[in-house]
Amino acid sequence: MKKKVILYRDIPAQERQRLDDQFDVTFFDGMNESNKDAFVIALSETEGLIGSNSTSMPPTLLDLAPRLQAASTISVGTDKFDLTYLSQRGIPLMHTPGVLNETTADTLFTLIMCTARRAIELSNMVREGRWTSNIGESLYGTDVHGKTLGIIGMGRIGYAIAKRGHFGFDMKIQYSNRHRKPDAEQDLNATFMDMEELLKTSDFVCVMTPLTSQTERLIGAKEFAMMKKSAIFINGSRGKVIDEAALVEALSNGTIRAAGLDVFEVEPLPASSPLCKLDNAVLFPHIGSATTETRLKMITCAVDNLINALNGDISQNCANKEQLNR
Ligand SMILES: NC(=O)C1=CN([C@@H]2O[C@H](COP(=O)(O)OP(=O)(O)OC[C@H]3O[C@@H](n4cnc5c(N)ncnc54)[C@H](O)[C@@H]3O)[C@@H](O)[C@H]2O)C=CC1
Ligand SMILES: O=C(O)C(=O)CO
């Protein structure tokens, strides 16, 4: 008999077919008030889960899935699951590292360029008929090339961002990370330092850590105050890695120059957020990996991951492999 699987995000037909070939699939378009009861009933029988990282899967919900054997998230970030809880139950969480590095780094560099050159603010000026003469000094941007790029979280994506800065923009790269990265030091001439020194000396501060209990609110009022007044802050990790209210304050009172954000404490970001009123904030709707090519690669990877995991193979792309092996 085929194993039962819940698919909680729409995926292309050919990938859905690969799941159907192997499993008895129940589809939900996310999880919301209108389908929650049916979702809970399906959970009681399911052996596998696959979906996107816009849906939270807390222990209270997964307690309702006593037969669960594997979960597969269409993301590299695993913060919508509790890894300790899953590991205690012996359930692997599969994810999609690597396939989105370059696309996400492109997005982060777009944020760097848009904030530095005030691209969105000035584009809006043109569209709204407010371009009536030469723009004047008060609307000039700041250079990106030749500046210092500080990366907090020099992992797979951090490295891809640093590569763009080093080779494309002649930037000086510095980083803080849980451990040193010899490849970044050799290939990109990157300098390892503690976060405080990085905050004080970078022109662009880019956060690319995962969201964990150690990184939650890593950057708050104290950290913004350490940055240069001319600094530009970029967050592509998760909204909760920063204190958003403190960022609003820092952008409003000139503690830092500007911010580019792809992620927020609450997503979708409500239009009532004070961030939406700030010209010096560039706001993207969590599009780090959102290209047609890369999203397909992520979905294909996540489908492979679930098939492998439910067949007992977690050698590739298992986020809690070490915890499971303990
Ligand atoms: N905006 C978007 O659409 C996307 C966001 N992400 C986010 O980016 C995160 C990173 O992805 P990868 O680069 O693939 O992960 P990774 O595991 O390769 O890199 C993360 C790095 O952060 C470092 N780190 C952890 N805690 C730290 C701390 N307290 N201080 C400094 N460094 C710390 C780790 O040592 C590691 O090198 C994901 O977990 C996800 O949350 C990922 C993809 C797309
Ligand atoms: O993969 C992730 O973690 C994302 O945030 C979406 O690409």
Give me the residues of the chain with pLDDT under 50, please: none
Q: Which of 186, 144, 191, 185 has its CA nearest to residue 165?
A: 144
Q: How far apart are CA 249 and CA 115, in angstroms?
A: 17
Q: Is the dihedral of CA 118, 122, 124, 130 positive or negative?
A: positive
Whole-structure pTM over 0.80, yes or no?
Answer: yes
Distance from Cα 107 to the centre of ligand 1, integer Å: 15
Most informative mutation of 289, 291, 292, 298 for ligand 2 (most atoms within 8 A of CB): 289
- pLDDT value of position 325: 77
* Residues with active-site annotation: 238, 267, 286
Contact 63, 70 (CB under 8 A): no
Q: Is 76 close to ligand 2, i.e. is its CB under 6 Å away?
A: yes
How far apart are the CA of 98 and the centre of ligand 1, in A?
Answer: 11
Residue to substitute in 76, 79, 94, 235 for testing ligand 2 pocket (most ligand atoms within 8 angstroms of CB):
76
Q: Which residue's CA is the closest to the ligand 1 atom numbered 3?
A: 288
212 CA distance to ligand 1 middle (Å): 10
Atom of ligand 2 nearest to the CA of 78: 3
Kindly list the protein residues whose Cβ atom lies closer than 6 A to any atom of ligand 1.
76-77, 97, 100, 104, 152-158, 176-178, 208-211, 214-215, 218, 236-238, 262-263, 286, 288-289
Nearest atom, ligand 2, residue 290 CA: 7
Residue nearest to atom 4 of ligand 2 (CA): 75
Nearest CA to ligand 1 atom 30: 177
pLDDT tens-digit readout, 115-159: 999 999 999 999 999 999 999 999 999 999 999 999 999 999 999
Angle at 310 between CA 304 and CA 312, to 5 degrees: 100
Determine the angle formed by the axes of helices 156-163 and 101-116, rounding to 10 degrees.
50
